[in-house]
């Protein structure tokens, strides 16, 4: 029987936030300027609080400022169920073009 040394075992590095952002691209949601103004979601920290109030845990999404002119903030989710939860909770008007 061969000895195993735990300190010699190589564990894979966890994915970076940029890698997760690309992997989760199909589960994205864009918050438009009008919506963020209406809900007073001026900063990313406001969006974190809003998602927490909806019951979505912080390790299940990534938030970034939008690159395009139409959106204000983009959220990408690890699970499709979280995106569906937001839409089912009456916030389907968030992203009209997706």
Strands of 61-65's sheet, edge to edge? 28-32, 71-77, 61-65
Distance CA 28, CA 40 (A): 21
d(C-alpha 55, C-alpha 49), whole Å: 10
Q: What is the C-alpha separation between 54 and 60, in angstroms, rounded?
A: 13
So what's the pLDDT on residue 79? Answer: 94
Please identify every stretch of the chain with a pLDDT value under 50, giving residue numbers as ranges.
Answer: 97-98
Q: What is the pLDDT of residues 17-32, one digit of tens each?
A: 999 999 999 999 988 8
CB 30 within 8 A of CB 74: yes
Kindly state the tokens that stand for 18.
Answer: 């940029």
Location of structure tokens 């564990």: 11
pTM for the whole structure: 0.77
């Amino acid at each position: 029987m061969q000895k195993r040394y735990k300190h010699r075992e190589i564990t894979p590095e966890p994915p970076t936030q940029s890698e997760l952002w690309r992997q989760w691209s199909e589960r994205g949601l864009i918050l438009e300027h009008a919506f963020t103004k209406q809900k007073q979601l001026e900063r990313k920290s406001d969006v974190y609080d809003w998602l927490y109030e909806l019951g979505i845990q912080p390790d299940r999404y990534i938030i970034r400022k939008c690159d395009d002119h139409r959106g204000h903030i983009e959220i990408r989710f690890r699970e499709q169920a979280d995106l569906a939860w937001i839409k089912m909770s009456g916030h389907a008007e968030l992203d009209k073009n997706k």
